[in-house]
Amino acid sequence: MYSRIVIVFTLFVALEAGSAHYVTQERVCFPESFQFGVATASYQIEGAWNVSGKGESIWDSYTHMYPERIFDHKTGDVAADSYHLFKEDVKLMVKLGVQYYRFSISWPRILPNGLSNEINKDGIRYYNELMDELIQNNIQPMVTMYHWDLPKSLQELGGWTNPIIADYFVDYARVLFNNFGNKVSAWLTFNEPLSFCQGGYGGLDAPGDQASGFEDYLCGHNVLRAHGMVYRMYQEEFEAKLLTSVGITLDFSWLEPAMESLEDKIAAETARQFFFGWFAHPIFSSIGDYPQIMRKRIDSISKKQGFHRSRLPYFTTEEIEMIRGSADFLGLNHYTTYLVAKSKKKISSEPSFAADMGGIISQKSSWPKSNSTWLKVVPWGFRLSLNWVKRAYNNPLVVITENGVSLEKGLLDKRRIEYIDGYLKALHTAITKDHCNVYGYTYWSLIDNFEWTRGYSERFGLYQVDFDSPNKTRKPRISSEYYARVARTKCLPIWDF
């Protein structure tokens, strides 16, 4: 099934950036059933932030109110203008030969006030046309329901810290199933709840509440409730008539002990439970609920800080059962690796996710850099992450929903090719030697986009976007030709400069 074959060929690729070619060498090949795709997210590429009935999202209001918190003081008001240029983007995917496209739906473009009593017909039209264009070109739609652009009106009610939002999310999901269910190959309820809970409610991403160790846990609790409720609603109302599946995307950077000491090993495993187990354990473990170490530490530290109850909420027995097993597959985002050392700091009276976790996070300066301060190139961490997931959750069905690297502007992106190649080799080893149950790989991203608080300073795209041009011109990087060879042949070509 996992054949290794030798193919001799030479292909010259002429691009505006220069030229490159393949050389003869034994290649690494994935099984024919393995799928390759690309990903984007609505706020990051669509633009059209206030047209045709769309409501305002928290990222619309955040970038307008706090431009100083965005690296280049820019917004996603226009971004790559994919709202108007989606057919051009589909043409790029056809050139790549990918089997699926992972994109997200903007909640306020469908429900302008966040509630299902008002459905925006233009939003329904837009996503139907996008999906039809994909299907006509034999590209399967993989859809994320929530990729961080919460309707502003719901944030005014407390957003993800208000328990009622889980019911509103179920209503939104039902609208999506009713309107697009027969076109979508796989659904993801949420993208990276760790990022938008810990980074948004606990940090400086939208809505920027900076309430670490408090609001981030409230957010996570309601996200897990909402996910479980949507999955059970899908089972009851749609499973019998829709040929699709429902999962969730979680991000997992590998967390390696800084030293070989027992203290650091324990600190690293604790960090894995806080960063990944926080959301994975309630859904994918055999017992459900939060990881025991997370519950124990937060309960204990909350008590020492004088709180009458834990800052980490408790699920009811019914909620634990509802959430446990509420996914057909796991979407996994992986980019990089960190080191973890045990923190020697005393617990302060100020709530903090980092203090609750009890580890100090760092990276080696010798690891290859990207254009993102947080993203170092460490392919071996990818394999370790997948094996940890395999052991912790009985080898669940996994699709890699994001993996990629940011670089500077330019079309000759040799380092992106090296990144993809290295991480795909680690993935191949995890599948063929370790028997990790992974069926697909998604590169982030198809095109350059608005990278949240980093604005347009970080470029992840296989295609470069000229954000200053009237038509948001897309140009192919040489990595797009490399990835096209991967997607079409299911084998890793050897790229020679």
3-state class of 7 per DSSP?
strand
How many angstroms separate the CA atoms of 212 and 322, rounded? Answer: 27
Residues 450 and 461: beta-carbon distance below 8 Å? no
How many angstroms separate the CA atoms of 486 and 443, rounded? Answer: 11
Give Rg (Cα) of the chain: 22
Q: Which residues pair with 319 in a beta bridge?
A: none
Q: At what angle do helices 121-136 and 82-96 cross, to 10 degrees?
A: 20
Q: Does 207 sit behind a cis peptide bond, omega within 30 degrees of 0 on the bond before it?
A: yes
How many angstroms separate the CA atoms of 390 and 460, rounded? Answer: 28
402 catalytic residue (yes or no): yes
How many angstroms separate the CA atoms of 57 and 82, rounded? Answer: 17
Query: With helix as H, strand as E and coil as C, how does 75-108 read?
Result: CCCCCCCHHHHHHHHHHHHHHHCCCEEEEECCHH
- Residue in 133, 192, 215, 402 annotated catalytic: 402
How many angstroms separate the CA atoms of 445 and 268, rounded? Answer: 29
* Per-position DSSP letters for 239-267, written without gaps between them: TTT----EEEEEE--EEEESSSSHHHHHH
How many angstroms separate the CA atoms of 463 and 88, rounded? Answer: 12
Q: At what angle do helices 165-180 and 121-136 cross, to 10 degrees?
A: 50
Non-local CB neighbours of 323 within 8 Å, separated by 6+ positions: 224, 225, 227, 228, 282, 283, 288, 315
**Residues labelled as active-site residues:** 402
